[in-house]
Amino acid sequence: MNENSVPLEYVNNLMYELEKAFWDERGKGARFRMTKVGYQYYDEKVKPLLKTTEVEDIIEKVHDVLKGEGIAAGVSFNREERLLRISVKGCIHRPVEERMRAKGVEPFTCIPANLIVLAIEEKLDIPVELAEIKVEEGACQLLLVMFEKRPVLE
């Protein structure tokens, strides 16, 4: 281990403890406070790569960053109009979600999902909600809902 690296187990243990403390404090309401977690990472790593407003290209850029940085093995998706079904395989933070599930708490936050949401919201100026996280089939299955463009008040 070099002097600048931190063991993944340490990071995931801290993430778990923070998520659990937040859940204990806010319950299901914690989900709506976690949507911006990862913004600095998005701003530094993802945002400079976004050159288009095509949803497919945006997700591909997030995938490239996550895979290139070793955060996830892969991201695939299927779009059904305003619904995005996203599969994140090999995420380094999956042990955090497994521990939460062992305590009876369904996953309520996902950093890869947050990066995708942040990118779509910024590039398209539309709200996006992480509606569901399921851990199954060796991956996290995410459901994102893209809403209509925000009205402009003059």
Q: pLDDT tens digit string along 60-86?
A: 999 999 999 999 999 999 999 999 999
Per-residue model confidence (pLDDT) at position 57: 97
CA torsion through residues 5, 14, 29, 139, sign: positive
Cβ–Cβ contacts within 10 Å for residue 62, how many? 29
Per-residue model confidence (pLDDT) at position 107: 87
Q: Which of 62, 114, 67 is nearest to 92 (CA)?
A: 67
Residue corresponding to tokens 């521990």: 99
Q: Which helix (H) or strand (E) holds 145?
A: strand 139-146
Average pLDDT over residues 18-23: 91
pTM of structure: 0.89
What is the Cα–Cα distance from 110 to 97, expressed in whole angstroms?
9
What is the Cα–Cα distance from 97 to 31, expressed in whole angstroms?
13
Average pLDDT over residues 43-53: 96
Average pLDDT over residues 103-116: 92
> What tokens does 142 get?
């995410």
Burial of 1 (0-12, 13-18, 19+ CB in 10 A): exposed
- Phi then psi for residue 37, to 5 deg, are -65, 125
DSSP character at residue 43 = I
DSSP character at residue 4 = T
Query: Could you tell me the residue ranges of all domains in the chain?
Result: 8-146
- Mean pLDDT, the chain, whole residue set: 92
Per-residue model confidence (pLDDT) at position 72: 97
Query: Looking at the domain covering 8-146, what would its CATH class be?
Result: alpha beta
Q: CA angle 142-129-50, nearest 5°?
A: 85
